[in-house]
Amino acid sequence: MNLQNPKKFKILLDQAHEVAINVLRPISRKYDKAEHAYPKELNMLGSLLDGMNDGGEGMNAGAAVGKRGATDDSNKNGVNMSTALGIIEMCYGDTGLLLSMPRQGLGNSAIAAVANDEQLERFKGTWAAMAITEPGCGSDSAAIRTTATKDGDDYILNGEKIFVTSGERADSVVVWATLDKKLGRAAIKSFVVPKGTPGMTVERLEHKLGIKASDTAAISFVDCRVPATNLLGNAEIDVAKGFAGVMETFDNTRPLVAAMAVGCAKASLERIKEIFKDVLDENYATPYLQTSNIAAQIYRMEAEWEASRLLMLKAAWMADNKKPNSREASIAKAKAGRIGNEITLKCVELAASVGYNEDELLEKWARDSKILDIFEGTQQIQQLIIARRELGKSSSELK
């Protein structure tokens, strides 16, 4: 790996940085206080991203389109890398506003990961949320109880989903449901349910610690009928393959969540370095043990941040090059999620009253960063997945 950002993405990243500073930062506090209000300023940005994505070098929530195990040995830096690097810059502006971006929903990644060619074309351009979590099912996605019952050319969905990002605003929702509870995780499939489908109801919007610009919905499904053609990928239940089909979605999205944490932490780190610039050595010439306590803490945070960034880049690079990256995606997400939250909280602490009041965005970045260590699989779940991969254990063997 060449650890420098690919030169071909320079224009994209420069534009994303300018958007972060000149568009997202100025409205960041406004939509933090106006929870659930839709940021209309994002409509123009959404259209801009659509145009860039059509050119193949933009930020696309549906990254990693393509099959794993390809034999092409050439090195690629594609949509996964450009998306991850772009997300860092956008979250340097505001994480909640990035999550509110039209047509960049997590459901788009699910479509990209498991949809067939006809579905990829049919759902192109949709803004898709993703509905996995249930009241009795959080990090253990295999415990899903929402059912999908075949009825002629349709499936009938019944169940309840919570913490659906963009659940009210999105054009459609990708719903995870089981075809047969007795068959366990192998029977879990994902369905695209268009907004307005009878039987699908947004019950409420959640009030949250952070990312308040993003609407987070609870949605019920009561005899909700969707066409069988909206089941993503293969409708057959393959007990041997198990949960692998729908879980491929996370191999796409976990590096992107890691990128969100890296971007949010970057904002805090840069601000705390500005505040304490008089005690820092910009050339890093002073030995670590001879610096002040504050400088030492900042240098350590920088080192942890850089490690998180490089792990995230590796997972994204592997996806672009069609290499199985489940282990690396979880490593990146676990490291960046934890370190991102540690950095933003430490920066609030070091900045004292400046960090704690609303005159600065430091306290907001600390609140926003917490979710990045939770959604798409908690810290504990990521460590469990990594342990299974390292030890060669199945989910039933290592719980």
Positions annotated as catalytic residues are 376
Residue 208 contacts by C-beta under 8 Å, 6 or more apart in sequence? 35, 216, 371
Alpha-carbon torsion 194, 196, 199, 205, what sign?
positive
What's the rounded Cα separation, in Å, for the pair 141 and 126? 24
Is residue 268 within 8 A of residue 365, CB to CB? The reply is: yes
How many Cα neighbours within 13 Å face the side chain of 269? 22
Dist. CA 295–CA 283, nearest whole Å: 13
Q: Alpha-carbon distance 181 to 294, whole Å?
A: 54
Could you give the 3-state DSSP secondary structure of residue 191?
strand
Q: Three-state SS string across 50-92, please? A: HHHHHCCCCCCCCCCCCCCCCCCCCCCCCHHHHHHHHHHHHHH
Query: What phi, psi does 172 have (nearest 5°)?
Result: -155, 165
Distance CA 370, CA 346 (A): 13
Q: b/e for 78-87, b at 16 or more Cβ within 10 A?
A: bbbbbbbbbb
Measuring CA to CA, how many Å separate 324 from each of 149, 243, 320? 32, 15, 10
Task: Please name which of 264, 272, 363 lies closest in space to residue 309, comparing C-alpha atoms.
Answer: 264
Alpha carbons 80 and 62: distance in angstroms, whole number: 9
Calpha distance 140→144 (Å, rounded): 8
Burial of 236 (0-12, 13-18, 19+ CB in 10 A): exposed
Tokens representing residue 184 in the block: 């366990």
Residues forming a β-bridge with 128: 172
